[in-house]
Amino acid sequence: MIREILYNPVLPQIQIFSIWVVLVALALLNFRRLRGTARWHSRFFLTLLRVGVISGLCFLLLRPMEEINRGVFGQRPVFTILVDTSKSMDTKDCDERSRIDVVSEHLREGYKGFLNDLSRSFDIRYAEFSEEFGVTTLGELAEGVEPKGEKSDLNSALVNAANSLQGRQTAGMLLVSDGRDNETGEVASAASYLKSLNLPVWSTTVGATGEAKDVFLSARINQSFLFKEQEGQIQVDLSQTGYKGWYVQVELLREGEPVGLKQVMFKSGAERVTFPVKEENKGTYKYTVRAEPLH
């Protein structure tokens, strides 16, 4: 249990201090004024009593309050191990084993060694992430997790992991990933946020050291439905790894037939293109989008 004294003064503290100085000065002047009319000891103790009363009243004007933070003292600092469970972790490029299998094996072995040593000083927590963040256990990760996430959102994962520890003393975070961030979030902003919390992050990567090349896309229409003859737009968001500076050809198909074609250059990690759509008749129509890098 940790106790802290907080102050919520009625007046600004400088004003309260000024009042205290003036009243103490008046008490000392009165001590001198009574010289010759009362004994020195009587005047001294009377003045001391007045100064004590003045100090007590000014202290009450500061409105001191005790804040009790229960359940913190004696708790070990939290150390979080954050594991990537997106589909890219299922890539078998670790001596013909998947990346997630290697992570699970190291966690099983670590429980008998360094993790056991760490747990003596830290409260070790486990979490997993892809496009979503979730709390998990060592047992679930060590037994083997099937990577199902469509994307790796490092930015949201780091921020959510930090927010889940609010109110607790933290020792740091270990990020285990293949490093493929194919979401549009800025990891730099998450790093700045963690720095403001004084929360250190260590990272370890799994998988081949060569740069993987891939293009990811998601498409959505700008409205839930369209009326007949009403024009809408299909918005296509593209992200890449290993194709910066390349052109990519984006094709729109309606019921399997090409109806639109655009080219865009990857100037950064993510780009966006749009296709206009309009139907003359009522009904449900299937649109498909595909992308192909151009050599």
Question: Each residue of 173-232: pLDDT tens digit?
Answer: 999 988 766 665 567 788 888 888 889 999 888 876 555 677 878 888 888 888 888 999
Cβ density class 206-241: b for 16+ within 10 Å, e for less: bbeeeeeeebbbebeeeeeebeeeeebebebebbbb
Percent of the chain with pLDDT over 70: 89
Q: Please indicate, yes or no, whether the overall pTM of this predicted structure exceeds 0.75.
A: no
pLDDT at 174: 92
1: pLDDT strictly greater than 50: no
Which class is domain 214-294? mainly beta
Rounded mean pLDDT, 264-283:
87
Question: Each residue of 123-141: pLDDT tens digit?
Answer: 999 999 988 899 998 888 8
Sorting pLDDT into bands at 50, 70 and 90, what band is 7?
low
> Where do the domains of the chain lie?
2-68, 78-205, 214-294
Least confident of 26-30, 74-78, 257-261: 74-78
Q: How many whole angstroms separate alpha carbon 146 and alpha carbon 274?
A: 34
Question: Each residue of 29-73: pLDDT tens digit?
Answer: 888 887 767 787 788 888 899 889 999 888 888 877 655 444 444
**CATH 3.40.50.410 holds for 78-205:** yes
φ/ψ of 11, rounded to 5, equals -120, 165
Classify residue 5 by burial, with Cβ atoms within 10 Å: 0-12, 13-18, 19+. exposed
Q: How many whole angstroms separate alpha carbon 125 and alpha carbon 127?
A: 7
